[in-house]
Amino acid sequence: ARGAGEQRGGRVRPGPARLGPRGVRSVVRGRRAGGAVVYGYRPRLLTRASRQEQVAAFLTAEGYDPSSLSACIEKLHKRICGTDLQSQTTGRCSFPQEIGFFRGYPYEDVIGFIDNEGENFLCSGCWKVYAKERDAQTCFCCYKNCTTMYQQLFAEGVSIACLAAVDEDFPAAEACRAAG
């Protein structure tokens, strides 16, 4: 295993030891010839999202245990890799649609995507939107501004570990103010 912050391709890659103390976790969810699928998340935010009443009920119905974040992430991993019973019995191995909950998408949009099989959406940006189009458009703008800010800071030499240390509410709030 590579050490925390090992250099590769001229850049220092942040390891779990560097991001963990800043409230960010990352796990490798799959390996491919061209690289790896890495899932990065903030446990506090993901726990809060997965325990919302409607989200928790949906996840429970799909075989997840919303009371255990690690069990949810492991179940998601098995679904992605096709090693869980549901994937094996249906013969489907792809990103399960509930992944939207793990990416922070609104409940109505995840359910809308599932119910409409990815069609009939109001708009799309970071995800396909099925409800509250105006709110989603505002969010997309905030994300774009935040991404631009972070890219600029990174290009100026600010480390990923330092960027991860920024308060979790700061980026979106700053991007929204800049967009407004």
pLDDT at 163: 82
Residue 179 to residue 93: CA distance in whole angstroms: 39
pLDDT averages per 10-residue partition of the chain, 180 residues: 40 60 79 78 92 96 94 87 62 74 94 96 97 96 91 88 69 45
**What values do phi and psi take at 80, rounded to 5?**
-65, -40
Q: What angle do CA 99, 69, 105 make, to 5 degrees?
A: 30
pLDDT at 24: 85
Distances in Å between the Cα of 24 and the Cα atoms of 18, 42, 176 are: 9, 5, 22
pTM value is 0.75
Whether 72 and 56 have beta carbons less than 8 Å apart is answered as no
List strand residue ranges (DSSP E) for the chain, in order. 7-8, 11-12, 25-32, 35-41, 123-124, 128-129
* pLDDT confidence of residue 109: 97
- In this structure, what is the dihedral angle of CA atoms 27, 136, 119, 55, given to the nearest 10 degrees? 50
pLDDT value, residue 36 = 78
